[in-house]
Amino acid sequence: MKAVKSRSSLIAISYFLLLGATTAGFRAQAQENPDVITEPAVQVTATRQAQTVDASLADVTVITRADIDASGAADLYDLLRTQAGVDVTRSGGPGEQTALFLRGTNSNHVLVLVDGVRIASTGTGGVDFSLLPLDAIERIEIVRGPRAAYWGSDAIGGVIQVFTRKLDGPRAAVQYGSYDDASGSAGIGDWNDRGGFSVQAGIRHVTGFSSQNPQGFSYDPDDDGLRNRNLAARGEVRLGTQTLSANALYSDSVNEFDQGTSHTIEQDLGASLAGDANSNWFQRLSVGSARDDLDTPDYFSLFRSRRQSLSWLNLFTLDDHQSLTAGVDQVHESGENVDTFGNADLYDESRDNTGVFAGWSGHLPAFDWELAARHDHNSVFGGASTGSGAIGWRVAPALRLTASFGQGFRAPSLNELFSPGYGGWFAGNPDLRPEHSRSSELGAEWTIADGFTTRLSAYHTDIDDLIDFTGPLFEAENTERARIDGAELEAHWQRGAWRVDGNATWQDARDPATGARLLRRAPRKGDLALTRVFSERLDAGIELYAEGRRQDIDGPLGGYALVNARLNWSFSPAWQLHLRAENLADRTYYLVSGYNTPGRSGWVELAWSPHGN
């Protein structure tokens, strides 16, 4: 069956507006702007301390608010899937189940943080990305490769950290798109040298399309939509040399699927006291709380997930060239699975985890290095120790080579440990061991010419003790392994008013025992975007995104390519118009066997922000 067609006239409007503006711009004889020189982005996720991306020995991508606005993406799914090393699948349209694979690892092998707070469900170990409203996000940091020596469990493929919005003044926006995708948000913020606050509320309603097609196991041709309400807030106040800060994200969603509906609540709260204890010592004391409730009445199922955390991070400056990181993390997790038909607990369990870590990093004119180690003790499965090391050599001013090695682990989820299963089938196993990984990586960063930079990374990962449901009753066991080889290439070129951004990923993710490819991970994918800036107020771009043939449960899924376009117009200092069209060629493709994907689609957003938020 073909991928779902759009039923909104906005598609045609967006298509011709974008295509016309882009074509006209390519032919225009407008005066080109001089080359733009930008400072390297700062990230804090790779080693839990601030570093510029070009100084980091990890493979890091920072997506700023300006990047998000320029992309015109409708949600976080559309933004993340174009990044190098990231595979994203979704079982239907917005709000449906989403899985993210980072560097070929499993979807629960990536640590996801919101303002430093872990958000994965304690029951399933997964993250519902539809609960993270894109309009409430200030910045996203993607760190590829294992980070367990700093962060502990889950960071086998890497870490994705989302930072909520920091408004400085009033802001409002409305958006409408294909499949009756309507959203709006409004907020206000105020900041000064003593601190400040920011708060924003948003809603989204999508009529959608049928998530499954006739090849799906429970096909129903009705539309499956999404209704979401969200609130993001943050604030801080200076207290001498320390800063007291707090942040909150609340998201409430009703998701429709072919078998019924589900109601999900995500609530993430955090607070910290951070600042210089003396001239050589910076400390951050943080507390966090994460709540995830998933209620599926049609399955008589309710999952409740809770996590409370306490962290103390210390950064010591040893001299002008060396620094030491040390800290402790304490986490209490609990989860409950309720049979709502019989009003009975299938399980109600909790566990505690304490982790201590330290890292040593330094730099010289030609060399950079980083060593880190961590030990976690869990009340259920015992201990896990991890380590990592990296070195960088600046062969020439324009060329740096890097090499790294890292270990990772993932603690079994509460479902995998304690679920009674279904009539004895697919039951958990309290004797499960953590999954363990070893990864090595080589990289090269080369500034070929002014305005032309590239980064190449090649990596190998082995994962042992993978948890699978096997045996006569498909019980959880540590029986599987995975081997992943891959390479990523990123390139950025800018000359005058023209800019080209591209990335390509090659990966071979397999079960070494059978040689079978791991499911839904493309062996090849790439993204190429061409942008033309016509003036300070107008820019347009066209994008080609492609994925190769992937394996699914019942056979291979064909490769596909999508052509997308966007237009951004600031028609006054306070008003911006964003247009985006996707799948302009109306290609038929599938990300999950039996599930639909959108056809030609378009969105238009009107934003008001007198202070440029």
Tell me what pLDDT residue 38 has: 56
* Mean pLDDT, rounded, for 166-178: 96
Tell me what pLDDT residue 28 has: 37
Residues 6 or more apart whose Cβ sits within 8 Å of residue 133? 75, 185, 202, 204, 228, 230, 232, 251
Residue 565 near residue 602 (C-beta atoms within 8 A): no
Query: Is pLDDT above 80 for 213?
Result: yes
Degrees (nearest 5) of the Cα angle 425, 427, 428? 165
Measure the N-to-C terminal CA separation of the chain; round to a whole number of Å.
43
The DSSP string of 319-356 is SSSEEEEEEEEEEEEEEEEEETTTTEEEEEEEEEEEEE
Percent of the chain with pLDDT over 90: 83
Query: Is pLDDT above 80 for 81?
Result: yes
Cα–Cα distance between 268 and 291 in angstroms, integer?
Answer: 6
**Tokens 């990772």 sit on residue:** 408
For residue 204, list its beta bridge partners.
Answer: 183, 228
Q: Among 31-45, 172-186, 362-376, 488-502, name the one with the lowest average pLDDT.
A: 31-45
Tell me what pLDDT residue 26 has: 36
Tell me what pLDDT residue 611 has: 81
Tell me what pLDDT residue 39 has: 64
SS3 label, residue 79: helix
Tell me what pLDDT residue 471 has: 81
Output the CA–CA distances (angstroms, integers) from residue 8 to 146, 430, 565, 578, in the order listed. 44, 51, 18, 18
* Token reading at 559: 């490769």
Tell me what pLDDT residue 472 has: 84
Query: Is pLDDT above 70 for 36?
Result: no
Query: Is pLDDT above 90 for 12?
Result: no
Q: Which CATH architecture has domain 10-608?
A: Beta Barrel (2.40)
Residue 72 near residue 14 (C-beta atoms within 8 A): no
Tell me what pLDDT residue 218 has: 87
Mean pLDDT of the chain: 91
* Token reading at 563: 């052509």
Query: Is pLDDT above 60 for 313?
Result: yes
Tell me what pLDDT residue 473 has: 82
Tell me what pLDDT residue 25 has: 39
Query: Is pLDDT above 50 for 161?
Result: yes
Query: Is pLDDT above 70 for 16?
Result: no
* Mean pLDDT, rounded, for 413-421: 92
Tell me what pLDDT residue 128 has: 85
Query: Is pLDDT above 60 for 490?
Result: yes
**Tokens 């040298």 sit on residue:** 193
User: Could you tell me the pTM of the whole model?
Assistant: 0.93
β-pairing, 158-164 vs 110-114, is parallel
Tell me what pLDDT residue 421 has: 85
β-pairing, 344-363 vs 367-378, is antiparallel
pLDDT band of 90, cuts 50, 70, 90: very high
Residue 267 near residue 226 (C-beta atoms within 8 A): no
* Mean pLDDT, rounded, for 598-603: 96
* Mean pLDDT, rounded, for 307-334: 97
Domain spans in the chain, listed from the N-terminal domain onward = 10-608
196: left (phi over 0), alpha (psi -120 to 50) or beta: left
Cα–Cα distance between 323 and 141 in angstroms, integer?
Answer: 22
* Token reading at 450: 């002014």
Type and span of the H or E element at 78 = helix 76-80
Degrees (nearest 5) of the Cα angle 141, 144, 149? 95
Q: Name, of 4-13, 15-24, 416-425, the range with top average pLDDT.
A: 416-425
